[in-house]
Chains A and B, each alone.
Chain A
């Protein structure tokens, strides 16, 4: 069960993401989507948040040694923080290019690993920040504003 805290106007939820667990991969993003629907948020905003969270979740499952996705819902925005321990990304600029991927054939057979994950997250985000340290892990922050719509 995710840890849900409702602190006044701010709701915060955290999902633990296990490395290489392809059966559960995507569960957190689906739970987040349902939570946002229960809160009655705009469907276009929910869609962008769910897509960003799902691609980020897949990245953690595929590439890292495990991590967390923490989501803060404020009156202005949905903030998605992803943090993993893992090999990190040696060349972030390259990783952000459409079509660049280091995923294995096994991952491609599941319909991922075509180098569209980070670009899709960027497209869904109003603000996007990524930091990575080789040998330590990657942090990703995605902001989706309620007002911006599609």
Chain B
């Protein structure tokens, strides 16, 4: 898959969870209908207060934490979903709460930095005002 083709998946309305799954070889832990949810921006964080302070609506959170507080935090700020990095799987209680809250949960084997890098190369924006356009230019490493 060329980097150009994957970049083109990010439109004005965002990118679908199924394309995120392709990009970071993730597994969906919640209901299959979550595949078609849209993501507008991405944030990588293990500190929930930072997630509260700096994310926007429809942000996908990549995190190394699997506590139930991650799902509670997602509910408070309307995150688009959560990706647990480095293959960490949350407990059944956490998945159950996410299902009840209709929140997509994913797990990838990539560590935080690498998973974030792959999504940034797709053209997905972060949450800061420092880089409002996201990475729309050429990705430094081509291919996936």
Contact = CB atoms under 8 A, between A and B. Distances in A.
Identify which of A33, A50, A54, A120 gathers the most chain B CB atoms within 10 Å of its CB: A54
Given A111-B67, A116-B47, A25 B52 contact: no
A86 interface: no
Given A23-B93, A33-B76, A114-B47, A51 B52 contact: yes
Identify which of B53, B75, B76 gathers the most chain A CB atoms within 10 Å of its CB: B76
Interface string B54-76: 00010000010101111011011
B70 A116 contact: no
A116 B53 contact: yes
Nearest to B52: A51
Contact of B48 (A30, A112, A123): A112
B112 interface: no
Which label, helix, strand, loop or mixed, suits the secondary structure of the B interface?
helix
Contact of A110 (B52, B69, B78, B93): B69
A26 B77 contact: no
B76 A30 contact: yes
Contact of B72 (A54, A109, A123): A54
B46 interface: yes
Nearest to B63: A111
A147 B93 CA distance: 39
Contacts of B36: none
B64 to A, nearest CB: 10
Contacts of B13: none
B75 A33 contact: yes
B50 interface: yes
A20 interface: no
Ranked nearest first, the 5 interchain pairs of A and B with the lowest CB-CB distance are: A26-B72, A116-B49, A111-B48, A30-B75, A110-B67
Interface of A: 22-23, 25-27, 29-30, 33, 43, 47, 50-51, 54-55, 58, 109-112, 114, 116-117, 120, 123
29 contacts: A23-B68, A23-B93, A25-B69, A26-B72, A26-B76, A27-B72, A29-B75, A30-B72, A30-B76, A30-B101, A43-B57, A50-B76, A51-B52, A51-B77, A54-B76, A55-B49, A55-B52, A109-B65, A110-B67, A110-B69, A111-B63, A111-B65, A111-B67, A112-B69, A114-B47, A114-B50, A116-B47, A120-B53, A123-B53
Given A47-B77, A111-B70, 20 more contacts: A25-B69, A25-B72, A26-B73, A29-B72, A30-B101, A33-B75, A33-B76, A47-B78, A50-B76, A51-B52, A51-B77, A54-B52, A54-B76, A110-B69, A111-B48, A111-B51, A111-B67, A112-B48, A116-B47, A116-B50
